[in-house]
Structure 1
Amino acid sequence: MNQAKPFSQACENNQSFILDILSPLLSPDQRVLEVGSGTGQHAVYFSANMPAVQWQCSDRRENLDGINAWLNDAELDNLAPPLALDARDVDWPQPAFDAIYSANTLHIMSWHEVELLFTHLRKSLKETGLLCVYGPFNYHGEYTSPSNAGFDQWLKQRNPQSGIRDFEAVNTLAEKIGLVLQADHAMPANNRLLVWQSQAA
């Protein structure tokens, strides 16, 4: 592997499990927007394993060079150059996407940014679209494991506005933009993969 590329061991560990769930949900020629692509590893792995799906990654501008390093090495026809995108941006990409995917982002953002994100998602998601979000969540205000409690403490020491989000609060944001929860998948390392679909579907 090119040592100049950023690397996430968590991405390496979870990508096959996420693919098992995403792959049956996505049809050939559908377009997916990945919000918060991070290193770009998920984008490359999913695009390579779903060659008929058009994948559009995005992240804050400072992360684009690292993503491009992965994309340039992969040379995949179904993987577009990354977009500079932030939850605080006013303009979000058009036309709408068939699905939006995001992994390990909500606990990094402030809650205000999470609220902004869901407002923007509606602009970029087709009326029959899917929203798939991966990461740790609390349920009924409780941690699902001691490791998640420790992780949340670490997050808040770095930035008091970040932290593991309550599933119920996030689901309320999704419902406000016309999405209905279709599945809540338990994943390795005390994570979840939540899948919502537009009511129009």
Structure 2
Amino acid sequence: MLPFSQAAENNKGPILQVLQEYLTRPGNLLEIGAGTGQHAQWLAPQFPEIGWTPSEQPENLQALNQRLGGEPAANLRPAIPLRVQDAWPLGPFEYIFTANTFHIMSAEQVALCIEQACQRLTGQGRFLVYGPFHYQGRPTSDSNRQFDESLKARDPAMGIRDQEWVVARFAEHRRALLGDHAMPANNRVLVFA
């Protein structure tokens, strides 16, 4: 049995609607932390002119590539190993996409991820981040507060990031917030360009 995420099934449609607004030019996309591969498997064929490269920590690659090989798409490339703190693919990329990763990374890893990704984006490139965020230091819902507490109980370095803090990290690399979209289940998609 391949790993399966019900949340990925639930949110892939709303994520597609936002991506259709921003993935408007041909090019290459790097997906950071592709997880089960459900997003890559379903989203990549929707954008046939974009070469979609999923990435994941090395120990998770076998199951990810198994899923991706089950329903191949012409523009969906084999997943590559990527740890935020290690060597990154050279790029350049027109797009970088990540879903549900910033709250499971430490703040230092998130800052490093943003730095490394921005170095590999083209001048007109876009970075799209899906997940929960706090605003002005406060959760947007009781469920997000409980989720944040459960993350920190598991590992104090984890936790839902403040949207303003994330925006400031991108600004350090001359990338501005282009869009902030409300999503189901108290999530957002932040788009930087």
Q: Report the equivalent of 1:64.
A: 61
Tell me the secondary structure at the aligned position of residue 42 of structure 1.
Answer: helix
Code of the residue aligned with 1:114 in structure 2: it is: V
Per-residue CA distance 1:126-162 (angstroms, 9 max, x = gap):
1110010000000000000000000001111111110
Q: Report the equivalent of 1:83.
A: 80
CA–CA distance in 1 between the matches of 2:32 and 2:78?
13
TM-score norm. by structure 2 comes to 0.97
Moved more, 50-59 or 138-147: 50-59
CA–CA distance in 2 between the matches of 1:95 and 1:131?
13
CA–CA distance in 2 between the matches of 1:186 and 1:95?
30
Listed as ranges, the matches of 1:145-156 within 5 Å are 145-156=141-152
Q: Report the equivalent of 2:42.
A: 45
Tell me the secondary structure at the aligned position of residue 13 of structure 1.
Answer: helix
CA–CA distance in 1 between the matches of 2:25 and 2:50?
5
Gaps of 5+ in 2: none
Could you tell me how far 1:62 is from its partner in structure 2? Answer: 1.1
Tell me the secondary structure at the aligned position of residue 176 of structure 2.
Answer: strand
Could you tell me how far 1:53 is from its partner in structure 2? Answer: 1.7
Could you tell me how far 1:39 is from its partner in structure 2? Answer: 0.6
The number of aligned residues is: 193
Decide whether the 8 Å contact of 1:135 with 1:193 is kept in 2. Answer: yes
TM-score norm. by structure 1 comes to 0.93
Q: Report the equivalent of 1:29.
A: 26
Code of the residue aligned with 1:117 in structure 2: it is: C
CA–CA distance in 2 between the matches of 1:28 and 1:129?
10
1:102 to 93, 98, 101: 98
1:129 equivalent in alignment to 2:125: yes
Per-residue CA distance 1:27-66 (angstroms, 9 max, x = gap):
3532110001011110011112222221010011011112
Greater strand content: 1
CA–CA distance in 1 between the matches of 2:62 and 2:156?
28
CA–CA distance in 2 between the matches of 1:167 and 1:12?
25
1:169 equivalent in alignment to 2:161: no
Gaps of 5+ in 1: none
RMSD across aligned positions (CA) = 1.0
Structure 1 runs of 4+ aligned residues shifted over 3 Å read: none
CA–CA distance in 2 between the matches of 1:59 and 1:68?
10
Q: Report the equivalent of 2:6.
A: 9
Percent identical among aligned pairs is: 44
CA–CA distance in 2 between the matches of 1:195 and 1:28?
15
Q: Report the equivalent of 1:55.
A: 52
Could you tell me how far 1:196 is from its partner in structure 2? Answer: 0.7
Per-residue CA distance 1:77-105 (angstroms, 9 max, x = gap):
1001111001111x211231001000000
Code of the residue aligned with 1:51 in structure 2: it is: P
Decide whether the 8 Å contact of 1:97 with 1:129 is kept in 2. Answer: yes
Per-residue CA distance 1:1-37 (angstroms, 9 max, x = gap):
xxx2110001000000000110232135321100010
